[in-house]
Amino acid sequence: PADFVWGAATAPVQIEGSPLADGAGESIWYRFCRQPGRIHQDENFDLTCDSYHRYRDDIHWMKWMGLRHYRFGISWPRLMPDGTGAVNSAGLDYYNRVIDALLEAGIEPWVTIFHWDLPQALEDRWDGWESRQTAEALGDLASLVSDKFSDRVKHFFTVNEISSFIGAGYRSGKFAPGKRLDPQQVAQAEHHACLGHGYALQGIRAAARQKCSAGMVDVLESVVPVMETTPHIEAARKAFRYFAASRLVPMMEGAYPAFWLKEKESDAPRFTEEEMRVISTPVDFVGLNMYAPHYIAADDNQEHGFRVVPFQVGHPQLNMPWAKIGPEITYWLPRLAAEAWEVPAIYIGENGCACEDKLNADGQVDDTARVLYLREHFRSASRAIQDGVPLKGYFVWSLLDNFEWASGFSKRFGLLYTNYSTLERTPKLSAHFYKEVINRNALV
């Protein structure tokens, strides 16, 4: 469609650098990176891509690529160093400069309110997402962001990938803040994060200076029927609902599914009817992040009527252990979401891959694997649109190589190659490919 949103995405921890500059506070990731053994080679994001100072370089390359949409995050501790209360004017000034520069370049800003950088002060004060108070504080942050930026920003994502920052941060301990809680505590933290999404929606709308669109962006197990026959497609529908039970279902329907509560039993979160009303505040769109497939087969011998088909040794994958290739996800996940709920718009908030990118003798990066990955995912997204799925946009992850959380700088997801010694950006072959896709507004 002529109005299809072609974009790219980033997160503040991963690209900005200067985490304590100009009055910013510590995030849980700042503290986490200083614990030996937490991050690959004990690396940190003190500099990373230095987008705090080099954002105009990034915008230059966005404009070169023909991007008209950019999804980026707001650093909570950069705006509110203590998580609540006093606002850091230098942080506001930074994001005002970024937004104005984007608009000057003809690029629409899409703002993510929370992309994992919880202020350390809230972890110290309230144990982070273990507390309902953190959810309420996110609503206050969203009100601030909307009040200060919605005169120019028309699109907001509330919370990025609840299952990731709760699962890895509070269950496995692999991400900040590095906790390993019991199952009920994890479920409670996830509930509070969903509550934060609801408060953020309300805060955005209460303070908005113009009509804005707002919704969540979540990552689910990207279910795909193992073959497109009626039994396996129906099994994929069941699997979609099962994996969405703790987040998207309550957000869209106002209640946790009965089967999920029964299965969790004493490990289910404690909640009130008022909290469920907040969580189910209506969204203007659903954002879905997707990377790798979960193949689903019908199986009447399983309690929920499906099974996840294990990957065979040798299944194609790229430079992440979980990055199995299955481009059908950009057809099936949007389709299943559209079938489950009457949503006016669905956006692919992230889709991309890590490759072993290296500069060649000519100073270029021939990332043919990423071109293949993107082309096939675009093909499946096109099929979804042709089948009437309200898929309105696609944000590639990521604009540029950056700090990849616990993997440090060992994994490269960018369309732009980042030289971490000079901080020079170089467009990869995939950037040239994406430029041509955007220019044609069609598969290349």
Please give the single-letter amino acid code of residue 318. L
Q: Could you tell me if 385 and 1 are in contact, meaning their C-beta atoms sit under 8 angstroms apart?
A: yes
Q: DSSP label at 286?
A: E
Q: Could you tell me if 221 and 209 are in contact, meaning their C-beta atoms sit under 8 angstroms apart?
A: no
Q: Could you tell me if 321 and 383 are in contact, meaning their C-beta atoms sit under 8 angstroms apart?
A: no
Q: Round to whole Å and give the CA distance between 217 and 256.
A: 18
* DSSP bridge partners of 222: 293
330 φ, ψ (degrees, to nearest 5): -80, -5
Q: Which 3 state secondary structure label does DSSP give 44? A: coil
Q: Which 3 state secondary structure label does DSSP give 24? A: coil
Look up residue 98 and give its two tokens: 């970024």
Sign of CA dihedral 136, 139, 144, 145: positive
- Catalytic residue, from 161, 275, 328, 404: name it: 161
Q: Could you tell me if 323 and 291 are in contact, meaning their C-beta atoms sit under 8 angstroms apart?
A: yes
- Catalytic residue, from 16, 26, 275, 350: name it: 350
Q: Is 350 a catalytic residue?
A: yes
- Please report, in angstroms and rounded to a whole number, the separation of the first and last CA atoms in the chain: 15
Q: Is 265 a catalytic residue?
A: no
Beta strands in 115-266 (DSSP E): 155-160, 213-219, 222-225
Annotated active-site positions, please?
161, 350
